Structure 1
Amino acid sequence: LTFDMGGTSTDTARFDGKLDLEFITKIEGIELHNPTLAIETVAAGGGSICGFDGHQLRVGPESAGAYPGPACYGAGGPLTITDVNLLLGKLDTSRFGIPVRLDKAKEALQAIQHQIFTKNQQLISEEELLRGFEQIANEKMAEAIRRISVAKGFSPKEYPLLTFGGAGGLHGCQLAEILGISTVILPYDAGLLSAYGMGQASAQRIVTQQVLLPLTEINESLFTRLTHLTEQGTQLLQQDGTELVDKENALALLYLRFKGQESTIEVAVTVQKALTLGEIEGHFYDKYRRLFGYCPNNLTIEVESLKVVVSEKAPRQVQTETAHLQQLASPIHQAKYPAYDWNQLNPGDYFSGPAVLLNTTSTSFIPEGWQAVITPTADVVVTLVEQRNSAVNAQSEAIELELFTNRFMAIAEEMGAQLQRTAFSVNVKERLDFSCALLDADAELLVNAPHIPVHLGSLGVCARLVREKINIGVGDVIITNHPKYGGSHLPDVTLLSGIFTPAGELIGYAINRAHHAEIGGKTPGSMPPDATSLVEEGVVLLPTYLAKNGEMQWDTVTELFTNAPYPTRALTENIADINAALASLRSGELALQQLVEQHGLAKVHRYMKLLKSNAFEALQHAFLPYKNRVFEASESLDDGHNIQVSIQPNAAGGIVFDFTGTSDCHPNNLNANISIIYSAILYVLRLLVNKNIPLNEGLMQGVEVRLPENSFLHPIFSDEATECPAVVGGNTEVSQRLVDTLLKAFELSACSQGTMNNFLFGNSAFGYYETICGGTGASQGADGRSAVHQHMTNTRITDPEELERRYPVRLKNFAIRAHSGGEGRWKGGDGIIREVAFLAPLRVTLITQHRVVPPYGLAGGQNGKVGQQTLTRTNGTQEVLAGICSIEVDTGDTLCIETPGGGGYGD
C-alpha cells in the first residue's frame, strides 16, 4: 500500500504484483472515462487546518495553502498539521529552507487552548492538544486507506506501507499501527518520489476489445484474441517512437461477471501462457468469493471485455546484496528526539525509535517500538518490534468527541462500501439507492454514511417500531419493508441487527435499507400508479427473522417473496442483494464490537450520547435567529392534496411542527408515514444547522410533530396489507413536496423540482426503475444547480451503454432543458430532457409531481417550469401523458420526459 502525504492532500494506492487500473475516475464530481492508475485522494495534508468548532477538535478538510500557509510561516496563517509536527519536535527548523516561526505556531495553539477554556472551562495541556490533533489526522488518513481496502475486498494487514511525499514519513508508522501493518518502507527520495517515478516509468499502451459473450463461447479463441491485441499495442508503441517493446510480458486482463450483473471482476493472465477454461473459472470464482463473501451457483460467466497492457522494456534492475547490520553509535543531535542524518547512514545501520530521520526533501519520524534499517539502496525499512497502545490517553472531551465521531462515521461508511461492493443489482451497485447507519442502544440514529436522505431519517423510527413488535437478540437479523413499522415503501427492504458484547450487553444496532427494483406488485418495477392498497404494490414483509440465533431463515424469507398475492419477478436478484445487505450489517457489527473491546462499553455509550447532545446544541444555536417566530406554509400536490405546516418554538424550548389542515388519506399511492415525515424534518433541520456534523437524532431532541390522524401524512396502517393504503409515491413524491413546504416556511430557498420523476418499464420477466434529475431552487446568493438529484434522493442514473445493453430500449436524447429554471436575481436550475425509444412491447409507469403546480419562486423570483412527458407512437401521433400513469408501449414508440426547473430567488 502506498501513502503519499504532501501539503494539501494524501494519495493512497495498492501494488500487488501490478498496479491497479481504473477506467472511470471522478474528479470534483466530473467522471473521466480514461484509463488511470487507481489512486485515491484524501483531503488531509501538512496544510490541513486544525481548530475547535465549539464542541470538538477538527482537522481539515480546509487547507491553509501556500499562502498564508501554516502559522509557523509567520504570515498570519492558522494552526495546521505542519505546526503540530513542529511543536511535537518532529521537524528540524533549520531544514525548512525558509524562516520558520516557532513562536507563531505556539501562539496559534494557545489561541485554540483559550477557545476551549472559554467554552467549557477545561484547560488542556499543550502536549495533549497536539497529540489530539495528531491522532485525529492519523485516524482520518488510516480510515481512508481502510475504507478503500473494504471497497476492494482486501485487508491492509496483508501489505507493507510504502510512505513518501514531504510529510508521509512523519505519519507512516503511526498509520501502520492503526491499520495493523508491521512494515513501513521509507524511500530515500521520498519527497521527490512521484517526480522520480514519472521519469523512470515505461511507456505503455492499453488496447481494449468489448466482448459481451459467455466465456464458454470464446474460450477457444481467447488467446488468439489476446495475441492480436498485443500486436495492436506493440504497433501503437512503435508509432510513438518506442524501440524496445516487452511483448513477452504483456499483461492481459479479462473482465468477467455473471450474466445479468453490472460490475466486473478483473482476472489477469499472460498472453504467452494459455490457461484452460477451468483455470480461468477457478480464478474468477476465487476472486468473487473474496469480494462478495459467497458465490452463486449455476450462473453463466460472461466476458465483458479484454484488455492488454503492452509496455516498453524497462532498464534491467541490478540486484544488490544484503548488508551486514550494525547499530548506530549516536545521533547527530538530540532535541526532543534523537535525530539522524540520512546521508550519513550506511547500508546495514539500524536504530530504534523514538527518533527523527532527516533528509534533503523529507523528514521521517520513527516512533517508540519501531526499528529502522538502512538497505543497500539507501532506503529505510522500518519494522514494528514492540506492540504498544498508540492511542492518545486523552482526557479532553473535545479531543475524544472528534475521535469517536470519526470512528462511528467510519463504521457506517465501511458498511456502505461493503454493501455497494457485494450487491448484485444495478439499482444498488450503480445507482447507489441504499443507505447504512449505526443506531445507539435506544435505537436512535447515531451516524450514517452519506446516502439517501429519505432513508436515513427513518431508520431510527423503523428500528424502534420493529423492536416493539419482535425481540432482537444475539445473532438475530430482522427483515421488513412494512410502512406500519417504519418502512418507506415496499421496494425499500430494511435489515436490522442488534450489536452485543461477548457478555450479551447491547451496544447498539446496525441497519441498512436498499431499494429493490423489482419486488412484485401489479406492474413491473413494483410501483403501480393506480394501486389503492398496499398489497397491490408487491411483497409485504412484516418484521420477520432473516436470522434467528445465528441460523439463517432463507426458506421462510423465500416463501414470503414467492407466495405473495403479487410475488417478485426477480427472486435471484432479491436474494443476492439481501445477502449483500447482510454482509454490510456484519461489517458494522464487527467494527463496533472491536471499538468496545478497545475502549470499553461505558466510554462508547458516553460518546454516543455526547454526539447526539452536540447535534442538539448545534440546532439550538442555529435556531436562535428564529426564536419567538411562527413559520407557516402550504403546498399542493398536482391533484390538489394540500400540505399545511406551522412551525413554532414551544414553552420547553423545543420546536413544534404542526401539520393540522393537511388533506385526508390519499385514495391512491401518495401516502407517507411517520418515518418519512421524520426524514424530511431531520433533513431540513440539518440544513438549518449548516455545520459539519453527522445526521443524527440529536437534532430531533425537543422536536414535537403533530399530524392529523388518517391524513395522507399519517394514514392508518395495520398488519394486514389489504387494509393498508398504498404508499409507493408517498416515499418518493410526498417526501420531496414536504421538504419544499418546510423550506418555504423557513424561506431558505426557492422550490426545487420537487419530484423524483419515477420512470419504470418492464414485462412479466423483468422490471427496470430509475429516478431522473432536475433543477434545484435558487437561494439568497446562489443560483440553483441544473440537472442534479436533490433533497430526499441522492442516486445516480444508469449509464446509457448499460441501459441499452441490458434492456430493450435506446436512449435518444439526454440533455439539459434550457430556460426551465425560474428567473430572478438568482436563477433556478434547469431540468433535463430524457428521450427513450422502446425496442419491444412494454408496460411503462410514471409517478411524478410538478406537472400541474409549478415549483415556486421566492422573494420575487419566478416559478420554475412544470415538467411534461410526451409519448410519440410509431404512426407519428403524440400524446401528453398525465404525471402519474401506466401505459402499454409498442416497438418503436418514443417517450420524452422533461423534468421541472427550480424556482428563482429575488427580483
Structure 2
Amino acid sequence: GSARKADTQIFSQGRKQSAPVFEREQLQPGFQVKGPAILIESAGTTIVEPDWEAELLENGTLRLTRSVSQQGQSFSNSLDPLLLSLFNHRFMAVAEHMGIALEKTSVSVNVKERRDYSCALFDTGGNLIANAPHIPVHLGSMGESVRAVLKECGQRLAPGQSWVLNDPYCGGTHLPDITVVTPVFDESSAELSFVVASRAHHADVGGISPGSMPPFSTHIREEGVLIPIQCAASHNNFHEQEMRELFGSGEHPVRSLDQNLADLQAQIAANHRGAMALKGLIDEFSLSTVHAYMGHIRQNAAHAMRRTIDTLSNGEFQCEMDDGTQICVALKIDHRARRAVVDFAGTSPQHPGNLNAPQSVCRSAVLYAFRTIVGSDIPLNEGCLDVIDIHIPEHSVLSPDYPAAVVAGNV
C-alpha cells in the first residue's frame, strides 16, 4: 500500500537480496510482511530477515516470528578442533547465562549479592558436561543429584518439569544448598536430550539456629528441612502450595518462607534460560552434532587428565583433626593404563558431630584438585573423572549414613 516507499538491496544469508521499505507510522494494525523487509521510523529501523514475518498488533506492537524453522547447518559429527573449542565456550556460556538469570531474579543476599550458586549442563546420563566458574564443591557434586533424579523419576520425567532436592545422602552437600534439576526434551522426538541444574545456598532452611549452620548439630534434622526428590514445577507451573508445605514441615521449619520460594523460582527460571539456550544450539547445529561434541568435550578432558597422570607418582597423606579424627588418602598411579586411584582407606568412621562430608563433597574435592593441576585449558567436566577411580570407605567421615549431621563437612 502507500506505506511502501521503495525497494532496496540488503545483504543477508550470504547474498544480496531485494527488500521492500515501509514507513512504520503509516502501517495499519493487522499489517503483515514476510522478510526480507525494512521498516523505518523516526526512532529506528527494523530489519525483517528472510524466514521471518513481521505483524503489527492492535496495540501498535510489532511482533516478529520465525516463519521457517532454522535448519541445523551441515556439520560433521567427527572431531574438529575448531568446533571443539567453539562448543566448549558455547556450553560454558549457557551455564554463565543461567547464573546471570539466577542472580538477577533471586531476592536473598546469599544468592543475589554473595552469589553462592552454581549452574551446569549435563548429558542424559547425568554426567557433567560444562559449567560456569561458580562454586567448585557444587559443580563436582551436582551430577550425583542429577543422576539420583534420573534414576528415581525415569519415565515420569516430562517437558515443563523441575525437580528439587537437598538430600546430602543423594548428591547434596549440606541442607542450605538446594538443587533444582530440569530435564530438556527434543521437541521433534519428545526424547530427553539434556539436563540443566542449578544449586543455590539458601539463607535459611530451618534447623535449630538461624542460617541453618548450627555448630553443634548431631542429627540432620537439627540442620533444617531435609528435601527428598520432589517435583517443584510441572507444565511450567510452580507448585507453590506443595513447596510451602514442604519448607514448613518438620520440627524446625524455615524462618523466611517467602524468600525461599522466591529463590527457588529464580533457580527454575535460570534452568529455563539454560534450556532455551540449548534448544537454540540445536537449531543452529542439529541435535546429533551437539550430542557428538558433548562426547568429544568429555573425551578431550579425559585425554588432558591422562597427560597429567603421566607426570604423577604414588603418594600417601594423613591429616589428623584436633579431636583425633583422621583423613587418610593414597594416590596410586597405573602408568601403563594411564589411570589413577584415589583411595581414602583408613579414614576415621562417621563423626558424632557435623564434620561429616557426604561422598559427593569428597568426589568434588578430588575432581577440583586434579583439575587445578591440568596444564591445558579444559572445562571442568565428568571426563576429568573418567580416568580416576575413587575409593571411599562406607560409614566413614567421608561417606556418612542418615541421620548423620553434615553441615560443616564442606565448609
Give the TM-score band, short-chain normalised: 0.7 to 0.9
Structure 2 vs 1, CA of residues 549 and 383 (structure 1 numbering), >3 Å: closer, same or farther? closer
Structure 2 vs 1, CA of residues 478 and 700 (structure 1 numbering), >3 Å: closer, same or farther? same
Within 5 Å, give how 1:373-772 maps onto structure 2: 386=50, 395=76, 397-471=80-154, 472-502=157-187, 503-626=189-312, 629-650=313-334, 652-717=337-402, 724-732=403-411
Contact kept? 1:428, 1:514, Cα under 8 Å: yes
> C-alpha root-mean-square deviation of aligned residues, in Å?
2.5
SS in 2 for 1:564: coil
Contact kept? 2:73, 2:285, Cα under 8 Å: no
Aligned residue identity for 2:319: E
CA distance in 2, matches of 1:369, 1:679: 53
CA distance in 2, matches of 1:407, 1:568: 38
Residue equivalent to 1:857: none
Within 5 Å, give how 1:791-802 maps onto structure 2: none
Query: How far off is 1:391 after superposition?
Result: 8.9
Contact kept? 1:371, 1:384, Cα under 8 Å: no
Query: How far off is 1:325 after superposition?
Result: 7.9
CA distance in 1, matches of 2:169, 2:49: 57
Structure 2 vs 1, CA of residues 368 and 669 (structure 1 numbering), >3 Å: closer, same or farther? same
CA distance in 2, matches of 1:701, 1:482: 25
Count of residues in correspondence between the two structures = 360
Query: How far off is 1:707 after superposition?
Result: 1.1
Aligned residue identity for 2:239: Q
Deviations, residues 525-558 of structure 1 (Å, cap 9, x unaligned): 1111111010000111011111245443222221
Instruction: Choose 1 or 2 for highest CA Rg.
Output: 1
Structure 2 vs 1, CA of residues 603 and 490 (structure 1 numbering), >3 Å: closer, same or farther? same
Aligned residue identity for 2:259: E
Aligned residue identity for 1:682: L
Within 5 Å, give how 1:133-152 maps onto structure 2: none
Q: Structure 2: state its 5+ residue gaps.
A: 22-44, 53-69
SS in 1 for 2:264: helix
Deviations, residues 744-793 of structure 1 (Å, cap 9, x unaligned): xxxxxxxxxxxxxxxxxxxxxxxxxxxxxxxxxxxxxxxxxxxxxxxxxx
Contact kept? 1:677, 1:713, Cα under 8 Å: yes
Within 5 Å, give how 1:99-498 maps onto structure 2: 352-353=10-11, 368-369=15-16, 386=50, 395=76, 397-471=80-154, 472-498=157-183
SS in 1 for 2:316: strand
Query: How far off is 1:648 after superposition?
Result: 1.3
Within 5 Å, give how 1:773-788 maps onto structure 2: none
Contact kept? 1:490, 1:540, Cα under 8 Å: yes
Within 5 Å, give how 1:833-844 maps onto structure 2: none
Aligned residue identity for 1:657: V
Structure 2 vs 1, CA of residues 430 and 370 (structure 1 numbering), >3 Å: closer, same or farther? farther
Structure 2 vs 1, CA of residues 421 and 370 (structure 1 numbering), >3 Å: closer, same or farther? farther
Deviations, residues 662-704 of structure 1 (Å, cap 9, x unaligned): 1111111000111101111111111111322211010000211
Contact kept? 1:446, 1:611, Cα under 8 Å: yes
Query: How far off is 1:601 after superposition?
Result: 2.0
Query: How far off is 1:729 after superposition?
Result: 0.1
Contact kept? 1:370, 1:384, Cα under 8 Å: no
Query: How far off is 1:406 after superposition?
Result: 2.0
Residue equivalent to 2:35: none
CA distance in 2, matches of 1:394, 1:514: 37
Deviations, residues 605-664 of structure 1 (Å, cap 9, x unaligned): 1111111001001111122212xx212112223333211110112464321000011111
Query: How far off is 1:591 after superposition?
Result: 1.5
Aligned residue identity for 2:111: V
Contact kept? 1:414, 1:587, Cα under 8 Å: yes
Query: How far off is 1:450 after superposition?
Result: 0.9
Contact kept? 1:475, 1:547, Cα under 8 Å: yes
Aligned residue identity for 2:201: H
Residue equivalent to 2:56: none
CA distance in 2, matches of 1:612, 1:386: 37
Aligned residue identity for 1:642: Q
Contact kept? 1:534, 1:727, Cα under 8 Å: yes
Query: How far off is 1:599 after superposition?
Result: 2.5
Query: How far off is 1:510 after superposition?
Result: 0.7
Query: How far off is 1:604 after superposition?
Result: 1.4
Deviations, residues 806-859 of structure 1 (Å, cap 9, x unaligned): xxxxxxxxxxxxxxxxxxxxxxxxxxxxxxxxxxxxxxxxxxxxxxxxxxxxxx
Deviations, residues 147-199 of structure 1 (Å, cap 9, x unaligned): xxxxxxxxxxxxxxxxxxxxxxxxxxxxxxxxxxxxxxxxxxxxxxxxxxxxx
Structure 2 vs 1, CA of residues 568 and 620 (structure 1 numbering), >3 Å: closer, same or farther? same
Q: Structure 1: state its 5+ residue gaps.
A: 1-323, 327-349, 355-365, 374-380, 718-723, 733-907
CA distance in 1, matches of 2:10, 2:214: 69
CA distance in 2, matches of 1:475, 1:394: 30
Query: How far off is 1:499 after superposition?
Result: 0.6
Contact kept? 2:72, 2:283, Cα under 8 Å: no
Contact kept? 2:75, 2:289, Cα under 8 Å: no
Query: How far off is 1:422 after superposition?
Result: 0.2
Query: How far off is 1:394 after superposition?
Result: 5.0
Aligned residue identity for 1:705: I
Structure 2 vs 1, CA of residues 353 and 544 (structure 1 numbering), >3 Å: closer, same or farther? closer
Aligned residue identity for 1:575: L
Contact kept? 1:466, 1:485, Cα under 8 Å: no
Query: How far off is 1:393 after superposition?
Result: 5.3
Contact kept? 1:654, 1:703, Cα under 8 Å: yes
SS in 2 for 1:625: coil
Query: How far off is 1:385 after superposition?
Result: 5.5
Deviations, residues 113-137 of structure 1 (Å, cap 9, x unaligned): xxxxxxxxxxxxxxxxxxxxxxxxx
Structure 2 vs 1, CA of residues 456 and 370 (structure 1 numbering), >3 Å: closer, same or farther? farther
State the percentage of identical aligned residues. Answer: 39
Higher relative contact order, chain-length normalized (CA < 8 Å, sep 6+): 2
TM-score norm. by structure 2 comes to 0.81
CA distance in 2, matches of 1:404, 1:519: 37
TM-score norm. by structure 1 comes to 0.38
Structure 2 vs 1, CA of residues 371 and 434 (structure 1 numbering), >3 Å: closer, same or farther? farther
Query: How far off is 1:464 after superposition?
Result: 0.9
CA distance in 2, matches of 1:571, 1:382: 45
CA distance in 2, matches of 1:410, 1:369: 32
SS in 1 for 2:15: coil
Residue equivalent to 2:60: none
Contact kept? 2:174, 2:410, Cα under 8 Å: yes
CA distance in 2, matches of 1:369, 1:450: 42
